[in-house]
């Protein structure tokens, strides 16, 4: 006679003697991570206040642009997170984003931006379904399936563009781009923070006033607050809301627990009565929808039409944020900003990028000293080398010409390599991600 074992509804409660974490810390992460972030912000603020040409380090224009550049990467990172949490490596995020840009651009042109976003999600889900059929049903290698999906997306969307838009009767369209959408998603400024309106009354711009004062820390807080709350698109709010939603679904619901068990040990989950195959299909459909929404953001919010090559490898960058973010939504959000910030600074105030090298040198000094205290000699030596290199480059670069564009383009990737090298021992991917699985295998 066999007994039926049921999975618990959610994660087990913390031990009675463990401190209760506040809802804010539950979203932001641990206290240590929060204090580290605040300390880094203070260091950046001091550099901004003391160095010439560093005002754009925390200006509202830089932060506003960072937010816009980060959202597609964030959505691609969440797509990778959902796929790998269910046990599937999703190299095809780039292709799913291409589906999203095309379907989003077409939907926004035909029926408006809201329908365009929905069409982008559906387009990405089509890509997720193709990847699921290949990897889940036929056990095709996940990497091969993803690469094939990327190639299929590029070729098929090019064909559809030629079929529908390469005509003389559609103005502003062609084989490589869609017609321009007729309307845009609503945007707003937050009242009392960035001078938003309440009816016909224009409220005070408190954050802007603080930014203009330029005081250390307070002025930077004003710049960041104004950048995060000025000209904010509804699409940006949707993207940001998916971070806490992902946390709640994956770690607070029965569905999320079962989905994560599929990525950790599908044989054990199957032995407990979990239907792994439908779960993996659901995870990849959600992953594809998130990637498609990221593509739709590019063609509807960041632009007003679909353009070939619009994704610009953001799907692969999103996959990197999944890894650097330790397969957690808050980590993906932080990694997304890590990629978006240098790109935004390059657009808004390139001379200020030079001072990021000084910022990095200060961090490397602290890392070196901390490693010495803990008697980790190799880590201390690496920190010393990075300190010398970055400080030397900061002195050598001419403040008038600034840093070269080729270097700024590669800066986020270099930062990610450093993050992965330093914290590789703390990164923990789902145990069964990328491994083949067949129902009924020996447990």
Share of the chain above pLDDT 70, in %: 86
Predicted pLDDT of residue 212 = 93
Residue 23 has pLDDT above 70, yes or no: no
Whether the pLDDT of residue 422 is over 70: the answer is no
- Say if residue 200 is exposed, middle or buried (CB neighbours under 10 Å; 0-12, 13-18, 19+): exposed
The CB-side HSE value for 212 (13 A sphere, CA atoms) comes to 6
Tokens of 295: 């593509």
Is residue 59 predicted with pLDDT exceeding 90?
yes
Pick from 190, 187, 297: nearest CA to 231: 187
User: Which residues, 6 or more positions from 203, have their beta carbon under 8 angstroms from its beta carbon?
Assistant: 191, 192, 195, 196, 197
Render pLDDT for 158-188 as a digit per residue (tens, 0 to 9): 999 998 887 767 887 888 899 999 899 999 9
Name the residue with tokens 């990737």.
413
Query: Of 423 and 277, which is predicted with more confidence?
Result: 277
| pLDDT at position 12 | 45
250 confidence band (pLDDT: 50, 70, 90): very high
Segment among 1-15, 194-208, 236-250, 414-428 with least mean pLDDT? 1-15
Per-residue confidence at 97, pLDDT binned at 50, 70, 90? very high
The pLDDT, as a whole number, for residue 298 is 96
Give φ, ψ of 307 to 5 degrees. Answer: -140, 135
The pair of structure tokens assigned to 393 is 């480059």
226, two tokens: 């104004």
Q: Residue 306, exposed/middle/buried by CB under 10 A (0-12, 13-18, 19+)? A: buried
**251-288 tens-digit pLDDT:** 999 999 999 999 999 999 998 889 999 999 999 999 99
Over its C-alpha atoms, the chain yields an Rg (Å, rounded) of 23
Residue 7 reports pLDDT greater than 70: no
Q: What pairs with residue 283 in β-bridges?
A: none
Least confident residue range of 5-14, 235-244, 299-308: 5-14
Q: Where are the domains of the chain?
A: 58-195+206-332
Q: Write out pLDDT tens, residues 290-347.
A: 999 999 999 999 999 999 999 988 999 999 899 988 899 999 998 899 889 888 888 8
Q: How far is CA 234 from CA 8, 68, 71, 321, in A?
A: 36, 12, 12, 23
Distance CA 210, CA 227 (A): 12
Question: Is 324 within 8 Å of 420 (Cβ atoms)?
Answer: yes
pLDDT of residue 379: 79
Instruction: For residues 183-203, give the mean pLDDT.
Output: 91
Over range 50-67, report the average pLDDT: 90
Average pLDDT of the chain is 86
Q: For 116-132, write each residue's pLDDT tens digit.
A: 999 999 999 999 999 99
Quick one: 264 exposed, middle or buried, by C-beta within 10 A (0-12, 13-18, 19+)? middle
Q: Which two tokens stand for residue 6?
A: 């049921």
Poorest-pLDDT segment among 44-53, 109-118, 389-398: 389-398
- Ranked by mean pLDDT, which of 28-32, 349-353, 411-415 comes out on top? 349-353
CATH (residue range 58-195+206-332): 1.10.3470
What local confidence, expressed as pLDDT, does residue 77 receive? Answer: 96
Residue 4 pLDDT > 60: no
Q: Environment class of residue 14 by beta-carbon count within 10 Å: exposed (0-12), middle (13-18) or buried (19+)?
A: exposed
Which SS3 state, helix, strand or coil, does residue 177 take? Answer: strand
Torsion over CA: 336, 342, 348, 349 (sign): positive
Which candidate, 312, 317, 289, 313, places its Cα nearest to that of 415?
A: 317
Instruction: For residues 35 and 37, give the distance between their C-alpha atoms in angstroms, rounded to a whole number.
Output: 5
Beta bridge partner(s), residue 233: 187
pLDDT at 407 over 80: no
Distance from C-alpha of 86 to C-alpha of 107, rounded to nearest angstrom: 30
Q: Long-range CB contacts (< 8 A, 24+ apart) of 160-163?
A: 160/102, 161/102, 161/306, 161/308
Predicted TM-score of the model (pTM): 0.89
What is the DSSP-derived secondary structure letter of residue 231? Answer: S
pLDDT given for residue 287 in this prediction: 97
Q: What CA–CA distance (Å, rounded) separates 205 from 195?
A: 4
For the ranges 166-175, 220-229, 341-350, 418-427, the one whose mean pLDDT is highest? 220-229
Nearest residue to 287 (alpha-carbon basis) of 253, 327, 344: 327
Using pLDDT thresholds of 50, 70 and 90, give the confidence band for residue 411. low
């Amino acid at each position: 006679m066999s007994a039926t074992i049921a999975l618990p509804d959610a994660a087990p409660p913390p031990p009675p003697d463990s401190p209760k974490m506040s809802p804010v810390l539950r979203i932001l992460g641990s206290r240590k991570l929060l204090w580290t972030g605040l300390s880094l912000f203070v260091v950046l603020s001091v550099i901004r206040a003391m160095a010439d040409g560093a005002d754009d380090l925390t200006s509202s224009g830089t932060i506003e642009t960072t937010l816009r550049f980060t959202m597609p990467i964030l959505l691609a990172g969440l797509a990778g997170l959902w796929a790998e949490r269910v046990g599937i490596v999703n190299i095809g995020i780039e292709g799913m984003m291409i589906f999203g840009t095309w379907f989003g651009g077409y939907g926004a042109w035909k029926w408006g931006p809201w329908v365009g976003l929905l069409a982008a999600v559906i387009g990405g889900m089509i890509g997720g379904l193709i990847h699921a059929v290949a990897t889940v049903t036929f056990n095709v290698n996940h990497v091969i399936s993803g690469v094939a999906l990327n190639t299929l997306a590029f070729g098929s969307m090019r064909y559809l563009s030629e079929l529908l838009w390469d005509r003389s009767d559609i103005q502003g369209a062609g084989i490589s781009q869609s017609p321009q959408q007729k309307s845009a998603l609503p945007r707003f400024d937050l009242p009392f923070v960035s001078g938003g309106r309440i009816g016909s009354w224009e409220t005070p711009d408190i954050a802007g006033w603080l930014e203009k004062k330029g005081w250390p820390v307070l002025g930077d807080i004003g710049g960041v607050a104004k950048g995060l709350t000025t000209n904010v698109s509804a699409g940006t709010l949707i993207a940001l809301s998916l971070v806490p939603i992902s946390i709640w679904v994956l770690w607070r619901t029965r569905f999320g627990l079962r989905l994560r068990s599929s990525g950790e040990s599908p044989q054990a989950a199957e032995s407990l009565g979990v239907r792994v195959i439908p779960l993996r299909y659901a995870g990849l459909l959600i992953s594809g929808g998130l990637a498609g929404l990221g593509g739709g953001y590019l063609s509807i919010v960041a632009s007003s039409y679909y353009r070939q090559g619009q994704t610009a490898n953001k799907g692969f960058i999103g996959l990197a944020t999944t890894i650097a973010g330790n397969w957690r939504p808050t980590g993906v959000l932080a990694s997304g900003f890590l990629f978006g910030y240098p790109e935004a600074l390059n657009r808004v105030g390139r001379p200020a990028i030079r001072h990021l090298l000084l910022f990095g040198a200060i961090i490397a000094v602290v890392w070196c000293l901390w490693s010495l205290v803990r008697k980790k000699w190799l880590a201390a030596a690496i920190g010393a080398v990075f300190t010398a290199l970055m400080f030397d480059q900061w002195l050598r670069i001419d403040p008038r010409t600034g840093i070269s564009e080729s270097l700024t383009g590669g800066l986020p990737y270099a930062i990610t390599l450093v993050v992965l090298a330093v914290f590789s021992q703390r990164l923990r991917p789902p145990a069964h991600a990328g491994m083949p699985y067949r129902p009924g295998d020996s447990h």
